[in-house]
Amino acid sequence: MITAAAVSAAKPIGFVDYLQSQLTVPTLEDLAKKLAVHIKALLPGQTIGEQEAYATKQALVILEAFDNRIPVLGQWMDSPVADFMEEWIVGLVIHWAFLAVLGIEHAAAAGGAK
């Protein structure tokens, strides 16, 4: 069952339809990029670190919907060690997405300045 919290976190970035699909690397990368763009616009006065931390929390809420669809997986994924590893990996993916988004913005700004 997909929780209301997952739908609420996924809705602003257009990710609700993904909640019914399989979790793949491209899906996770798309989630991270969508969150990076959305959070940068939502929290413009915050540092990149603060934006990444918020995006990671949102991603974990959304990803919990994937864990909960498979009861055995959800049981194992809710252990403290698994939660730590999941948060660490998702944080790395979010960091990568922010770098990608910032790189695109930086390239566009540099191209526009010429």
Model confidence over 2-30: pLDDT tens digits? Answer: 888 888 999 988 888 888 888 888 888 89
**57, 69, 73, 87, 97 from 103: Cα distances, Å:** 23, 35, 36, 24, 10
Six token digits for residue 48: 């990149």
Nearest residue to 95 (alpha-carbon basis) of 41, 45, 35, 42:
35
Instruction: Render pLDDT for 76-99 as a digit per residue (tens, 0 to 9).
Output: 666 788 788 888 999 999 999 999
Q: Can you give the pTM of this predicted structure?
A: 0.78
Is the model more confident about 84 or about 113?
Answer: 84
Q: Flag whether pLDDT at 114 surpasses 50.
A: no
Residue 18, pLDDT score: 84
Q: Return the axis-axis angle of helices 80-113 and 48-68, rounded to nearest 10°.
A: 130
